[in-house]
Amino acid sequence: MRTIIEPFRIKAIEPIRMTSRDEREKLIQEAAYNVFLLPARDVLIDLLTDSGTGAMSAAQWAGIMRGDESYAGSDSYYRFENAVKDIFGFSHVIPTHQGRAAERILFSTVCSTGQTVPSNSHFDTTRANIAYVGAEPVDLPCVESRVLADPHPFKGDMNLEALQHLLEQCEPGKVPLVMLTITNNSGGGQPVSMANIRATSKICRKHKVPLYIDACRFAENAYFIKQRERGYEDVALIDIAREMFSCADGCTMSAKKDGMANIGGFLASNDEQLTREERNLLILTEGFPTYGGLAGRDLEAIAVGLYEALELDYQHYRIISTEYLGQHIAAAGVPIVQPPGGHAIYIDAASFCPQIAPLEYPGITLTVELYREAGVRAVEIGSVMFGSVDTESGQEQPAPNELVRLAIPRRVYTQSHIDYVVEAIVNVFERRDALKGYRIIEQPALLRHFSAHFAPL
């Protein structure tokens, strides 16, 4: 059979509320043209994020029911710890309420003012947690990632020469660790090859700097390695995952992605002394080391979900269905980051509506139009999210790219939902010449994309 189907049946459904174009026009105006300010009940297809928005399996819900809520040493904790050790191979595991809590604990323990933390590309919370302790996050993405339309198979790779150069130039102790984000979310959901993970690890070991993996979408990365890297065709996803993590000294994880859970995360490493210090911080702000800010039932859902993410049929459906969206809009001429990523499709809004200048926020135009057209919610990843202000001139500087991300929640939407999204995007594309930009009329000092108010130009 050539038809690829969702490898599950649907047992519980959640109605979505239909809205008319007139209603949406009023709602988006009331939300000051910022889709973050829309109530979720007014959204038909929500592609804002794939984080914590997935549907759990029957096995996960069964786990929820047997959650052991003991404060210390619950059975659920041991099931969680066994799963993490089995897949990731690290000897010390610290549960946290989500990925950024693991980042905060890690960087407040190992990192201090004046240090530098290189990565293929830091996610924004990672970047913020490094900056918060006075250190500098540095992105070293591979050169292939610069051309959005180039379909290179591993555009998430670390730029090895740049990493080597940085570590050679730095005085000892300047770099407390190197991060590798798999898949590379900020770089378009693109995977990192095993060859690149190995080579990064070799460079780090030569310079005696620990390598940490930001593991949020580790199972999707493993699937891309199986599909695209020679020698891995017949290797099980779990073994690819084990091999990836064997190259690293530790990892941070948001279980809201490839943990297939609605909340949770962890920090893991092989360093006993470091773990002791991290646990002290954990107790201060997250909770006792055997629950770390999570309920026992959440630990159960993660213990089951980590294995489900590594099931081949699931990943096959996951990656093919994301690609389906990308290929259908690309076939209609919509410019996207190529090749399609694991968890999301990124539209190149600057090429979509070139008449809108970067500081008139073409990504905002596109998110507003997708909502108006069909009630679809996407997110701008461009100058509103990543623009900066020049400290000398006070001038706003645009971000390097104006993207709009359509992130696909796990196991939530069917192919007809995606067909509906394709139609919406193509309809907006057909009237792209008439689109106009936006200006900001109100914004907070930090993380402005979440709450800024806009007005049409």
Q: Which residues bind ligand F0G (CB under 6 A)?
A: 49, 51, 98-100, 123, 125-126, 181, 185, 214, 216, 254, 256, 265
Angle at 381 (CA atoms; ends 377, 386), nearest 5 degrees = 140
What does the block give as tokens for 23? 């209603």
**Given the complex with ligand F0G, which of 124 and 311 has the nearer CB atom?**
124
Determine the angle formed by the axes of helices 58-65 and 296-308, rounding to 10 degrees.
160
Q: Let me know how many helices (H) and strands (E) the chain has, helices first.
A: 16, 16
**Given the complex with ligand F0G, which of 187 and 398 has the nearer CB atom?**
187
Q: Are 387 and 399 in contact (CB under 8 A)?
A: yes
Q: How far apart are CA 169 and CA 165, in angstroms?
A: 6
- Nearest distance, CB of residue 436 and ligand F0G, angstroms: 28
- Nearest distance, CB of residue 254 and ligand F0G, angstroms: 3
- Nearest distance, CB of residue 14 and ligand F0G, angstroms: 20
Q: Are 192 and 154 in contact (CB under 8 A)?
A: yes
**Given the complex with ligand F0G, which of 188 and 437 has the nearer CB atom?**
188
**Given the complex with ligand F0G, which of 49 and 327 has the nearer CB atom?**
49
What does the block give as tokens for 378? 């996407």
Q: Which of 51, 70, 48 is nearest to 261 (CA)?
A: 51
- Nearest distance, CB of residue 53 and ligand F0G, angstroms: 9
- Nearest distance, CB of residue 216 and ligand F0G, angstroms: 4
Point out the residue whose Cβ comes nearest to ligand F0G: 99
- Nearest distance, CB of residue 40 and ligand F0G, angstroms: 15
State the residue for tokens 């066994």.
Answer: 82
The maximal CA–CA distance of the chain, rounded, in angstroms, is: 62
- Nearest distance, CB of residue 200 and ligand F0G, angstroms: 16
CA distances from 132 to 126, 136, 425 (A): 10, 9, 38
According to DSSP, residue 318 is labeled: H
- Nearest distance, CB of residue 342 and ligand F0G, angstroms: 11
- Nearest distance, CB of residue 111 and ligand F0G, angstroms: 16
**Given the complex with ligand F0G, which of 118 and 437 has the nearer CB atom?**
118
- Nearest distance, CB of residue 24 and ligand F0G, angstroms: 23
- Nearest distance, CB of residue 317 and ligand F0G, angstroms: 20
Q: How far apart are CA 444 and CA 150, in angstroms?
A: 36
DSSP string, 64-129: HHT----SSS-HHHHHHHHHHHHHH--SEEEEESSHHHHHHHHHHHH--TT-EEEES---HHHHHH
CB contact set of 434 (below 8 Å; sequence gap of 6+): none
Gyration radius of the chain over CA positions = 22
**Given the complex with ligand F0G, which of 49 and 164 has the nearer CB atom?**
49
**Given the complex with ligand F0G, which of 43 and 216 has the nearer CB atom?**
216
State the residue for tokens 């050790």.
Answer: 85
According to DSSP, residue 56 is labeled: P
What does the block give as tokens for 164? 């080597």
DSSP string, 232-301: -TTS-HHHHHHHHHHT-SEEEEETTSTT-SSS-EEEEES-HHHHHHHHHHHHHHT--TTTTTS-HHHHHH
**Given the complex with ligand F0G, which of 265 and 292 has the nearer CB atom?**
265
According to DSSP, residue 311 is labeled: -
- Nearest distance, CB of residue 384 and ligand F0G, angstroms: 15
**Given the complex with ligand F0G, which of 407 and 440 has the nearer CB atom?**
407
**Given the complex with ligand F0G, which of 226 and 256 has the nearer CB atom?**
256
**Given the complex with ligand F0G, which of 103 and 360 has the nearer CB atom?**
103
Q: How far apart are CA 278 and CA 273, in angstroms?
A: 9
State the residue for tokens 């960087």.
Answer: 107
Q: How far apart are CA 164 and CA 447, in angstroms?
A: 32
